Amino acid sequence: MLLAITRRLGQMLFVLVGISILVFLIFFATPGADPSARIAGRNASPEILEAVRKSFGFDQPFYMQYLIMMKKIFVTGDLTSFVNRGWKVVPAVFEAIPVTLSLVIGAAVLWVVFGIIIGTVAAATRGSWLDKFLMVLGLVGISMPVYWLGEVMNLVTQSRYHDTWMFSWVPPLGYKNISTDPRGWFLTLIIPWFTLAILYIGLYGRVLRANLIEALQEDYVRTARAKGLSETRILLRHALRTSLTSFVTLFGLDFGALVGGAALLTEVVFDLHGVGMLTYNALLTLDLPVIMATVLYASFFVVLSNALVDVVYIFLDPRVRTA
């Protein structure tokens, strides 16, 4: 057990180091991408370029630049932006985290609840028109580009139907702090929550339905039927429970990726200044320290949620425990 945990931790560390090197290579070792040229501006003279190179430390070998950056992120925490000198990166990431967490947690609640309802109802009525309708609806959700859906939502709630009773409550775009304005926080986030959740509701509903139908073929379900249990009880207590294991796996991965910044498009469309938005703005100015910090933060969440999923899996599925 201890050995397994140590191995898992070692694996986590390996992936994290790998990602940090990969990001570093993408921005420094890509042919043609000279960060000092970007910082110095378009028509900088060679002297200025040289000065920039020295002052930012680009004249040092790659591995030294990499090590210094890692030290500044993890040990001293005083990494500063290349674009706005003096702007500290690590606190900026921590400021953005509550926004992303608010967005992703709310959406996750929606997609888990609706995903389970849709998947279970479709499995219970499999073959019927209701099942088909729900599954087509799910596919439509999966097929929609999230940023486009966000724009359509904005069009409807901010412009076309904003003056009617339906959407007059929708506040202008932007984020409200939960501690100072909880009502505003809730109202501004309702539309983004649904927008982000729709893809996952479709995805999870379809996955759960497939798993439930598979579970209903199992021997223990036949045993339960033979004991005379009601169909509802079999579905909810026996089949649903085993089906939730893959649901949990998916959830861990998706949640980790979203908290890590995969909600970027939703944040951009709804003007929420979360981690994704921070990454996006940094990418536009090629602000390497900020990108490095946010991507490392993102992969940390992805790797962590992967590990957590493995642990939760053991609790949910007794078969894994003994194997």
Joined tokens for residue 61: 């070998």
Among 229, 250, 308, 312, which residue sits at the site for another protein (rule: CB under 8 A)? Answer: 250
Alpha carbons 158 and 286: distance in angstroms, whole number: 32
Alpha carbons 291 and 148: distance in angstroms, whole number: 25
End-to-end CA distance of the chain: 13
How many Cβ atoms sit within 10 Å of the Cβ of residue 92?
A: 20
Among 27, 161, 167, 313, which residue sits at the site for another protein (rule: CB under 8 A)? Answer: 27
Distances (CA, A) of 310 to 5, 239, 245, 250: 11, 21, 10, 11
Q: Please name the helix (run of DSSP H) or strand (run of DSSP E) that holds residue 90, with its range, or none.
A: helix 89-124
- Residue 106, CB-side half-sphere exposure with 13 Å CA sphere: 20
90 binds another protein (CB under 8 A): no
Tell which positions 176-205 bind another protein, by CB under 8 A. Answer: 199, 203
Q: Which is nearer to another protein, 26 or 320 (CB)?
A: 26
Find the angle CA(273)-CA(278)-CA(280) to the nearest 5 degrees. Answer: 110
60 binds another protein (CB under 8 A): no
Counting Cβ atoms within 10 Å, is residue 272 exposed (0-12), middle (13-18) or buried (19+)? buried
Closest approach of another protein to the CB of residue 116, in Å: 17
Tell which positions 109-168 bind another protein, by CB under 8 A. Answer: 139-140, 142-145, 147-148, 151-152, 154-155, 158-160
Q: Which is nearer to another protein, 239 or 303 (CB)?
A: 303
Q: Please name the helix (run of DSSP H) or strand (run of DSSP E) that holds residue 320, with its range, or none.
A: helix 318-322
Per rule CB under 8 A, count of chain residues that contact another protein:
53
Joined tokens for residue 133: 């309708």
Joined tokens for residue 88: 């500290």
41 binds another protein (CB under 8 A): no
Residue with tokens 């070792």: 29
61 binds another protein (CB under 8 A): no
Q: In this chain, which stretch among 64-72, 116-124, 229-237, 281-289 interacts with another protein, using CB under 8 A?
A: 281-289
Among 190, 283, 308, 312, which residue sits at the site for another protein (rule: CB under 8 A)? Answer: 283
Q: Which is nearer to another protein, 83 or 142 (CB)?
A: 142
257 binds another protein (CB under 8 A): yes
Chain positions contacting another protein, by CB under 8 A: 11, 14-15, 18-19, 22-23, 26-27, 30-33, 139-140, 142-145, 147-148, 151-152, 154-155, 158-160, 199, 203, 207, 250, 253-254, 257, 260-262, 264-265, 268, 279-280, 283-284, 286, 291, 295, 298-299, 302-303, 306
